[in-house]
Amino acid sequence: MDRKPIDIPTLQQKKRRGEKITMLTAYDAAWARLLDQAGVDTILVGDSAANVVLGYRDTLPVTMDEMLVLTRAVTRAVRWAMVIGDMPFMSYNADVADAIRNAGRFVKEGGAAGVKLEGGAGVVDTVRALVRAGIPTVGHLGLTPQTASMIGGYRCQGRTAAAARAILDDARRLEDAGAFLLVLECVPDRVAAAIARRVGIPIIGIGAGSGVDGQVLVLHDMLGFRDTGAAPRFVKRYADLGDRVAAAVRAYCDEVRAGAFPAAEHTFPIPDDEWAAFERGLEGSGQ
């Protein structure tokens, strides 16, 4: 297939040309391969893995080691998409040296092309240090789930003029620090579009309207896999795989219980003469 792996210049070129960038999350090889083959530009091994695959209540408990196992699984399967590892809570917050070491692990051990971390002014020095260390870095502004308890919960950010201005200022600071991409989560569409027009790096929105440079969704949300009640307003369900998987599992259980599975076509025969010899052997030994 004549496809070029996605790199930073490709993403910058897409922004310049007004071509939308696609991003989805993935956490294992099977799904990552499907997404990659279907043509998604970038795959985020999100710390949303904490909720959607590891069963934690929120994203805070997931560890570096857990994220690295998932990142390695994804990068083993991907040929074209750019894979970004999401730095877990407290893997970059304590000090800059720690952040460089942990971000470096995503690249060296995880095979990721870069890392994402949440926050504005408070992480600018860290972003600058990561970029200086040669680690491509993605920012994340607006609703930042790792610090949801400090921003009033999981709610839209930037709904006042001052709050919108603060997000724009943070976006500019992150761009200046060398971030090559920004995720903007749960921000009013006009604010998000204004930010996308005013920064040079691509803005990937989630709940930020269509006026930004690309979109990201959590895979389990867009495929209807998540079983934790109502999805956020910004999620569009492109499939109801949760219902289809449940129906398949029920059918399997029914068929196993009824003796209908496995059928002849799922079983391995032994030649008649070998079978006869086996039975004779059993009879001869009194078994």
Active-site positions read 185
Q: Rounded CA gap, 130 and 134, in Å?
A: 6
Phi-psi region of 191 (alpha: psi -120 to 50; beta: other; left: phi over 0): alpha
Residue 25 sits in the site that holds ligand KIV (CB under 6 A): yes
Give the residue, chosen from 113, 179, 199, 218, that forms a contact with ligand KIV under the rule CB under 6 A: 218
Site for ligand KIV in 50-89 (CB under 6 A): 86
- Residues 117-176 close enough to bind ligand KIV by CB under 6 A: none
Under 8 Å CB-to-CB from 236, ≥6 apart: which residues?
217, 222
196 near ligand KIV (CB under 6 A): no
Q: Pick the piece of the chain touching ligand KIV (CB under 6 A) from 43-51, 156-164, 169-177, 223-231.
A: 43-51
| Number of residues this chain uses to bind ligand KIV (CB under 6 A) | 11
> And the tokens for 56?
């934690």
Which residue in the shown chain puts its C-beta closest to ligand KIV? 46
* Three-state secondary structure readout of 216-261: EECHHHHCCCCCCCCCCCCCCCCCCHHHHHHHHHHHHHHHHHHCCC
**Does the footprint of ligand KIV cover residue 213 (CB under 6 A)?**
no
The least distance separating ligand KIV from the CB of residue 7, rounded to whole angstroms, comes to 20
Those residues whose C-beta lies under 8 Å from the C-beta of residue 260, and which sit 6 or more positions away, are: 254
The secondary structure of residue 4, as a DSSP letter, is P
Give the one residue of 32, 138, 186, 206 binding ligand KIV; rule: CB under 6 A. 206
**What is the smallest separation between the CB atom of 124 and ligand KIV, expressed in angstroms?**
19
Measured from the CB atom, the residue of 30 and 248 that comes closer to ligand KIV is: 30
First-to-last alpha carbon distance for the chain, in angstroms, is 59
Contact 196, 203 (CB under 8 A): yes
| Segment contacting ligand KIV by CB under 6 A, of 7-15, 40-48, 237-245, 253-261 | 40-48
3-state secondary structure of 205: strand
To ligand KIV, the closest distance from the beta carbon of 152 in angstroms equals: 18
For binding to ligand KIV (CB under 6 A), which residues are involved? Answer: 25, 44, 46-48, 86, 183, 185, 206, 216, 218
